[in-house]
Chains A and B, each alone.
Chain A
Amino acid sequence: MSDAASAIAIEDLRFRWQPTRDWVLDIPRLAIARGESVFLAGPSGSGKTSLLSLITGIAQPTEGCVRILDTRIDHLRGAARDRFRADHFGIVFQLFNLLPYLSVLENVLLSCEFSAARAQRAARRSGTPAGEAVRLLGRLGLTDPQLHRRPATELSVGQQQRVAAARALIGSPPVIVADEPTSALDADLRTEFVTLLLQEVVEAGSALLFVSHDRQLAAAFDREVDLRRFAPAPTPP
């Protein structure tokens, strides 16, 4: 697999949050192809969150490089990195994905506020960004138009996670990053959510990096990567 075909390509990456702290990650090489769905497994403390911060350009690698679609995100300057993230990433958190003071629809459209490119892509698909938001919410099982106007916090946790997925998917960003999005859901909802998410990711043609410690879900993905492979060697005392 050449780097040109990669959605995410990591080389010789080493990372620690502060110079005095221990290394958190040591990844000689990790590549995720465009459109590929990858299940990233690892217990807590294995550096999952750090890796996601590095991939999305919120943190900078201490050594090595992170390439997203041929762009060295670690070489971009602050504001350019933020713009790059807005254009190329859809992100779903574990919990509390939504702004409580916005409606469901406004929450989904928030992605288009920070990225004109995504707003355009969404409009190309459904006429307007709002039309695309309604379409995605419908695909994820939230069809009731009255529900779209309600404050996000009035929804159940399962519904909130689907709204978050719609927000990540709108405007078809090339990379979707999901940080344990199912951990607050019960078993039935978990499988349903993952199935819906994968369907939409395939349709959008995005790569998906799905982080979870729930290995039962791994079978639904193209590939599984265990983060423990990249644990740095313990520093000698």
Chain B
Amino acid sequence: MSMLTLARKSVWNRRSTAALVVLSIALSVVLLLGVERLRTDARASFTDTLSGTDLIVGARGSAVNLLLYSVFRIGDATNNVSWRSYLALAARPEVAWTVPLSLGDSHRGFRVLGTEVSYFEHYRHAGGTPLRFAAGAVFDDVFDAVLGADVARRYGYTVGDTLTLAHGAGKASFAEHADKPFVVRGILAPTGTPVDRTVHVGLRGIEAIHADWFAGGPVPGLRLSAAEVRARALTPKSVTAVMVGLKSKTQLFNVQRAINEFSDEPLMAILPALTTQQLWDLLAVGEHVLLGVAALVVVCGLLAMMTALMTGLNERRREMAILRALGARYVQIFGLVLGEALLLTVAGIGLGLLLLQALLLLVLPLLNARVGLSIAGWPPSWHELTLLGAVLLAGFIAGLVPALRVYRYSLADGLTIKL
């Protein structure tokens, strides 16, 4: 019977306390790793909102603002890009594709995006995943709409339903385009991005509902029916922003500079990945606080272990005195207590990993279906392993305190067994 067996049997003898200690460490590990995984994956989801687009072009202003209204549907553009400039941009030899974005209308609190069919081809998220249709297909007619997953779920829309758009971004709008209803042609699968909360219509649709409008309101006395509007050319005068894909990444900075120096109109081109990163860094305080709280929970778990070990020590002084009398060395006694702390910590980490895995297996499909958030499962990342290493080290340190105490006891107790 080795010292290890002795340690194992000794722990088993106090198994109810030991089980509680292991459980408290396990739960703190679940929280730590859970928060860490949510943090990194939320960050990845956020920065992956838009991928595959090299540049976003809009009226000159703040880069973060352009990103916010064009990709995240937050806030409004201060100015537009003229259709002529858009055509000039699209005609540049370095440009592979462009997708115009036209914002400014809404449907029951959800933003409406006027765009072209190519949007559904070029919009990529989560490392290059294209948009997928849960039902129906891309819009075809002027008054067709494609709904994001949240929009459809919130109001129970199915393909073939009709809806009306409203002017402006508010939830309760007084300027409805009620005379020109749209038909739901397609519904997108969840993506975990702002696309889920967007109503997509064709650029011509946006033009059509504003054909009898001027300066943000209907022109008095001018009423055009849907059929009359349909007969018109419906070429937009301007768009809000443009997504740009380049033929070669090496052209990126040249094209960006050329757009920023465009002489006809003050324009700005941003690198969406870079600006998204900057935006996330603004929000990073919260994520650090979250990780800090999780780390504190781990400290509490280990303190619980230290308390349990320290309380048990008085009872175990006898055990130690017997072992010393039998010829156990100081270092073995020391190792017995420290080994137990390590054993409990390792068991806690192992159980924590198992619990987290079970939790993820249970919750992941739900998360994926409801919010399109994908969290990585097994195996733990290097970063997580480092965190676990830190937990183990903390467990070692928490074990040192009672081990040193028992060492002192065994020096002071001599051959007597003090109770």
Question: Which residues of A are interface residues toward B (Cβ below 8 A)?
Answer: 49-50, 52-53, 56, 58-59, 78-79, 82-83, 85-87, 89, 91, 93-102, 106, 109-111, 113-115, 167, 179
Contact present for B326 and A114 (CB under 8 Å): yes
Instruction: Judge if B330 is at the interface, Cβ distance under 8 Å.
Output: yes
Contacts of A91 in B (CB 8 A): 325-326, 415
Q: Nearest residue in B to A107 (C-beta to C-beta)?
A: B322
**A107 to B: closest C-beta gap in Å:** 9
Q: Nearest residue in A to B10 (C-beta to C-beta)?
A: A101
Cα of A59 to Cα of B415 in the assembled complex, Å: 8
Contact present for A82 and B415 (CB under 8 Å): no
Which of A50, A58, A83, A98 has the most B CB atoms < 10 Å from its CB?
Answer: A58
> Given A93-B322, A109-B1, A59–B414 Cβ distance below 8 Å?
yes
> Given A56-B415, A99-B322, A106-B1, A115–B327 Cβ distance below 8 Å?
yes
Which of B10, B330, B415, B417 has the most A CB atoms < 10 Å from its CB?
Answer: B415
Question: Which residues of B are interface residues toward A (Cβ below 8 A)?
Answer: 1, 9-10, 12-13, 318-319, 321-331, 414-417
Which of B13, B322, B331 has the most A CB atoms < 10 Å from its CB?
Answer: B322
Contacts of A114 in B (CB 8 A): 326-328
Contact present for B1 and A82 (CB under 8 Å): no
Question: Which residue of the partner chain, among A59, A96, A102, A115, contacts B417 with CB atoms under 8 Å?
Answer: A96
> Given A53-B414, A96-B417, A82–B327 Cβ distance below 8 Å?
yes
Contact present for A97 and B324 (CB under 8 Å): no
> Given A97-B322, A99-B322, A101-B12, A87–B417 Cβ distance below 8 Å?
no
Which of B325, B328, B414 has the most A CB atoms < 10 Å from its CB?
Answer: B325
Contact present for B13 and A78 (CB under 8 Å): no
Q: Nearest residue in B to A153 (C-beta to C-beta)?
A: B13
Contacts of B13 in A (CB 8 A): 100-101
Contacts of B323 in A (CB 8 A): 99
**B9 to A: closest C-beta gap in Å:** 5
Contact present for A85 and B414 (CB under 8 Å): no
Contact present for B326 and A110 (CB under 8 Å): yes
Contact present for B326 and A86 (CB under 8 Å): yes
Task: List 10 A-B pairs, minimum CB-CB distance, nearest first.
Answer: A86-B327, A101-B13, A114-B327, A53-B414, A91-B325, A82-B329, A53-B415, A85-B327, A101-B9, A96-B318
Contact present for B416 and A49 (CB under 8 Å): yes
Contact present for A93 and B1 (CB under 8 Å): no
Cα of A115 to Cα of B9 in the assembled complex, Å: 20
> Given A93-B322, A101-B13, A82–B414 Cβ distance below 8 Å?
no
Q: Nearest residue in B to A80 (C-beta to C-beta)?
A: B329
Cα of A50 to Cα of B416 in the assembled complex, Å: 9
Q: Nearest residue in A to B324 (C-beta to C-beta)?
A: A58
Contact present for A111 and B326 (CB under 8 Å): yes
> Given A52-B415, A102-B9, A87–B327 Cβ distance below 8 Å?
yes
Cα of A101 to Cα of B414 in the assembled complex, Å: 23
**A128 to B: closest C-beta gap in Å:** 14
Q: Nearest residue in A to B328 (C-beta to C-beta)?
A: A114
Cα of A109 to Cα of B5 in the assembled complex, Å: 14
Q: Nearest residue in A to B321 (C-beta to C-beta)?
A: A93
Contacts of B417 in A (CB 8 A): 93-96
Contact present for B415 and A58 (CB under 8 Å): yes
Contacts of B10 in A (CB 8 A): 99, 101
14 pairs across A/B with beta carbons < 8 Å? A49-B416, A59-B415, A82-B328, A82-B330, A83-B329, A89-B327, A93-B417, A94-B417, A98-B322, A99-B319, A101-B13, A106-B1, A109-B1, A114-B327
